[in-house]
Amino acid sequence: MLSKRIIPCLDVRNGKLTKGVKFQGNVDIGDPVESARHYYEQGADEIVFYDITASAEGRGIFLDVVEKVASRIFIPFSVGGGINTLDDMRAVLLAGAEKVSVNSGAVKNPDVISQGAAAFGAQCVVLGMDVKRVPKSEAIPSGFEVVIHGGRKPTGLDALEWARTGEALGAGEICLNSIDADGTKEGYDLELTRLMVQSVGIPVIASGGAGSPDHMADAFTQAGASAALIASIVHYGEYTIPQIKEHIAAKGVKMRMVW
Whether residue 45 lies in the annotated active site: no
Q: Which of 11, 88, 158, 218 is catalytic?
A: 11
Give the Å distances, CA to CA, from 6 to 17, 50, 75, 173, 219: 19, 16, 12, 15, 11
Q: Is 258 left (phi over 0), alpha (psi -120 to 50) or beta?
A: alpha
Alpha helix positions (H), 52-202: 63-70, 86-94, 104-108, 111-120, 159-169, 190-199
Q: Which of 130, 158, 182, 189 is catalytic?
A: 130
Alpha helix positions (H), 43-77: 63-70
Strand pairing category for 24-30 and 16-21? antiparallel
DSSP 142: T
Longest dimension (CA), the chain: 51
| Contacts (Cβ under 8 Å, ≥6 apart) of 253 | 4, 217, 220, 221
Alpha helix positions (H), the chain: 32-42, 63-70, 86-94, 104-108, 111-120, 159-169, 190-199, 213-221, 232-235, 241-249
Whether residue 189 lies in the annotated active site: no
Q: Give the whole-angstrom CA distance, residue 47 versus residue 36.
A: 7
Q: Give the whole-angstrom CA distance, residue 102 versus residue 136.
A: 26
Contact 77, 47 (CB under 8 A): yes
Active site residues: 11, 130
